[in-house]
Structure 1
Amino acid sequence: MAAQQAIEGLRELAGAGLTAENVFRRADELLRALLGYDAVCWHSADPATGLVTSVLSDDLSLMGFEDAVRLEVWADDPATFPSIRRSGVRAETLSRATKGQLADSARFRELIGPGGFGDELRAVFDAHGGMWGCAAFMRSADRGPYLARQREFADLAARHLGNALRACHVPPAAGDVRREAAEQGGPGEESPAVVVLGPANRPLAISGPAEELLGRLADPSRTSLGVPTAFAVAAEQARRVARGQVVPQSKIRVQDSAGRWYVLHGSALKGGSEGEVTVVAAPATPADAMPLYLSAYGLTAREQEVALLLVRGYDTRDVSRLLAMKPYTVQDHLKSVFAKAGVASRRELVARIMLGGGTA
């Protein structure tokens, strides 16, 4: 009964109009007793790549968070967030992934074990083709490993948390977009922000526009980094590239509190001190932002294909031909797209996506 009530509570979060931070805090209230964890780290993520972009934890000291970022990007470890996502499940425990040999994990040896914890349960929050967040749940060493039923319950809960976090990224209403644009000069006039990070991902130099943006992208929990988590992850990705290692995606997308998307890209400095990296953050172009907005609206993969063609100027006949659909099927998809995006016409849909929530 308690588990069912918790699932119902998680399902309701998608329609509650909450921020990601509030979703995480409410989820903690619903899940802590049922999963039996003693500490948790909640993370937002770039929905396109799954790379972590923020951290929230009321249980842990994050004064050595640079080590956690390093391990997350570099360590070839069991039960990482990307490997869980690729496996087709939404939750995995370290004890199961290591067959009970927790010390096989660098993450356990360097962070979890020294912190007094034993098993770790990780979950990824996917919905409509995007990974909107993830979490790591840790329990005291004397409590033993997580049970199979707890992992299975976390897998179910993760699906609803994915929907709740996706809903947090729906573009704001037109009035909110216009007000933000008036206050901050509009996304088209915003200069790129530049931050130089040292080997421990602490800032060495910050451009004028960066200081204000760093505040808007700040983590819910204070860390030892001095910059938002997204900047540190972008820097570590750049260091991997500089070492000749392949990364699936070198840029990171992150949304600010006003609903605007930014793209972060890191590059190792040539001729500078070893480990120094420049991270540039710029407003997302329509090409970067459109798929994120469409996914945030909860469109299916097919609906996203239809919407993208419409935004690019194709008419119904073109869409029908390009996607090998009957015209009436295209119209059915259009009706669903308009309903989910809260618009009444193609013109409104195009304006809403291109303006990041506004309408013409």
Structure 2
Amino acid sequence: MAIGRDELISRAGRADSPHMLFSTLATQLRRVVPYDAAVWRATDPDTGMITSPILAENIEGHSCAVYWQYELFTEKINLFRDLALAPVPVASLWDSTGGEPGRSSLYRGFLAPRGVHDELRAVLRVDGRPHGYVSLFREKGRPEFSGGERRFLEELGTPIARRLRSYAKYRTEDSGAMTGTGLLLFDAEGALVSANDDARRYLEEMPEGPASLTALGIRVPLWVHGTAMRARAIAQQHGRDTARIRMRSRTGRWLVCHASCLREADGRLGVSAVIIERAPISEVTPLIVQAYELSERELDVTQRVARGLSTNGISEELHLSPHTVRDHIKAIFEKLGVSSRGELVGKLFTEHYEPLPPRSTGRRA
């Protein structure tokens, strides 16, 4: 029996982690929109880049990196970054090419050799920000994705994105004390050629997901490898975008991963350097604020509460009446489930981020 949209969203909403959310969707969605393989990806809402977790169904983990190379370097049809800005963030390859999927480099080089007939893509976005990407695949001999199936996936987009966004406010115990800077170097072909000890330790903390197997014997998750590929794509296009993502380790530790492609003396592109380090609180707080769905004005008030300003002080800075400021603070308290300014600051700025240990304690993996 096919499951309805509301029931599917309800079941997904009970998932206690992004990975469980993807697993629930994978189990339930194929009853309504049948498919043979799929990839579910979380994304950083600020850069639109893939981050953890990623769930791949019936696709080899190392193939996901090859798929993403097409997305970044050669594909022109249904790019996720374009869909993220489109009025309808869902599209099928068959429909977009007028039944001529061979126009797609991804189809010619990746999908067709694997027996794929059609791909349905969706960007999961809320308030204009992408929080996830979905790829559904159908094999040859099966019908292409229909307009009704595209609309069904479109209707899931915002509720699922809102749920993905909400996980940032969930605290997971972060018992580690790593404070070093991890460095990985990838050559022009995207192969890992070097990594320091801190990088190896951070990679050991990564959750399960599609990964590249390297000659160094290190497992590099797609979301880390993806930053190196994105940095190279930006450099090739002489773009000004940033190859940067925030992610969580298995222990709940917030990390930031960013990359840059270096140039040789003659101007040619050289290695791509990827940095992994503990995310500063300034990187984490915006995600937590978004998870609680504070309005822009409520965020303005919250930031000033965190600075210790009084109601009158906030009123003067924001040119609001004290009564309006008090109304905003009351609404903020209700959204976060707190009853005092101290609790508010703790919930947004302290509870989700353990203080760094004294230097004398050293570091441990």
In the superposition, the TM-score normalised over structure 1's length comes to 0.86
* Bigger Rg, which one: 2
| Counterpart check, 1:287 vs 2:282 | yes
SS of structure 2 residue aligned to 1:288: helix
Aligned residue number for residue 236 of structure 2: 243
CA distance in 1, matches of 2:191, 2:340: 47
Say whether the 8 Å CA contact 1:196–1:206 is kept in structure 2: yes
| Counterpart check, 1:105 vs 2:104 | yes
Say whether the 8 Å CA contact 1:95–1:119 is kept in structure 2: yes
Aligned residue number for residue 60 of structure 2: 61
| Counterpart check, 1:30 vs 2:25 | no
CA deviation after TM superposition for structure 1 residue 308, in Å: 3.1
1:46 partner letter: D
Question: Residues 319 and 126 of structure 1: is their aligned pair in 2 closer, same or farther, counting only changes over 3 Å?
Answer: farther
Say whether the 8 Å CA contact 2:61–2:212 is kept in structure 1: yes
Aligned residue number for residue 297 of structure 1: 292
| Counterpart check, 1:334 vs 2:333 | no
Aligned length: 348
SS of structure 2 residue aligned to 1:159: helix
SS of structure 2 residue aligned to 1:56: strand
Say whether the 8 Å CA contact 2:243–2:260 is kept in structure 1: no
CA distance in 1, matches of 2:170, 2:319: 30
CA distance in 1, matches of 2:323, 2:70: 51
Percent of aligned positions that are identical: 26
CA distance in 1, matches of 2:141, 2:309: 61
Aligned residue number for residue 343 of structure 2: 348
SS of structure 2 residue aligned to 1:335: helix
| Counterpart check, 1:316 vs 2:311 | yes
Aligned residue number for residue 82 of structure 1: 81
Alignment of 1:134-173 (within 5 A): 134-172=133-171
Q: Render the CA deviation track for 1:232-283: whole Å, top value 9, x for unaligned.
A: 1211222134335214333222222333332222123455996422101122
Say whether the 8 Å CA contact 1:3–1:34 is kept in structure 2: yes
1:350 partner letter: V
Highest relative contact order (Cα 8 Å, sep 6+), 1 or 2?
Answer: 1
2:333 partner letter: F
Whichever structure has more helix as a proportion of its residues is 1
Question: Residues 274 and 250 of structure 1: is their aligned pair in 2 closer, same or farther, counting only changes over 3 Å?
Answer: closer
Aligned residue number for residue 214 of structure 1: 203
Range 31-40 or range 267-276, more displaced: 267-276
Range 95-104 or range 309-318, more displaced: 309-318
CA deviation after TM superposition for structure 1 residue 23, in Å: 0.7
CA deviation after TM superposition for structure 1 residue 145, in Å: 1.9
CA distance in 2, matches of 1:291, 1:161: 19
Question: Residues 307 and 127 of structure 1: is their aligned pair in 2 closer, same or farther, counting only changes over 3 Å?
Answer: farther
Q: Runs of 5+ in structure 1 lacking a partner? A: none
| Counterpart check, 1:262 vs 2:255 | yes
SS of structure 1 residue aligned to 2:31: helix
Question: Residues 192 and 355 of structure 1: is their aligned pair in 2 closer, same or farther, counting only changes over 3 Å?
Answer: farther
Aligned residue number for residue 185 of structure 2: 196
Q: Render the CA deviation track for 1:94-118: whole Å, top value 9, x for unaligned.
A: 2232233212222212212221111
Question: Residues 305 and 81 of structure 1: is their aligned pair in 2 closer, same or farther, counting only changes over 3 Å?
Answer: farther
Aligned residue number for residue 176 of structure 2: 184
SS of structure 1 residue aligned to 2:169: coil
CA distance in 1, matches of 2:320, 2:103: 51
Whichever structure has more strand as a proportion of its residues is 2
Say whether the 8 Å CA contact 1:241–1:247 is kept in structure 2: yes
CA deviation after TM superposition for structure 1 residue 21, in Å: 1.2
RMSD, matched Cα? 2.8
Question: Residues 222 and 243 of structure 1: is their aligned pair in 2 closer, same or farther, counting only changes over 3 Å?
Answer: closer
Say whether the 8 Å CA contact 1:167–1:296 is kept in structure 2: yes
SS of structure 2 residue aligned to 1:184: coil
Q: Runs of 5+ in structure 2 lacking a partner? A: 356-365
1:246 partner letter: G
Aligned residue number for residue 126 of structure 1: 125
Say whether the 8 Å CA contact 1:118–1:145 is kept in structure 2: yes
Q: Render the CA deviation track for 1:302-352: whole Å, top value 9, x for unaligned.
A: 433432343344443454455554444433332332233333222222233
CA deviation after TM superposition for structure 1 residue 81, in Å: 1.4
In the superposition, the TM-score normalised over structure 2's length comes to 0.84
Range 45-54 or range 252-261, more displaced: 252-261
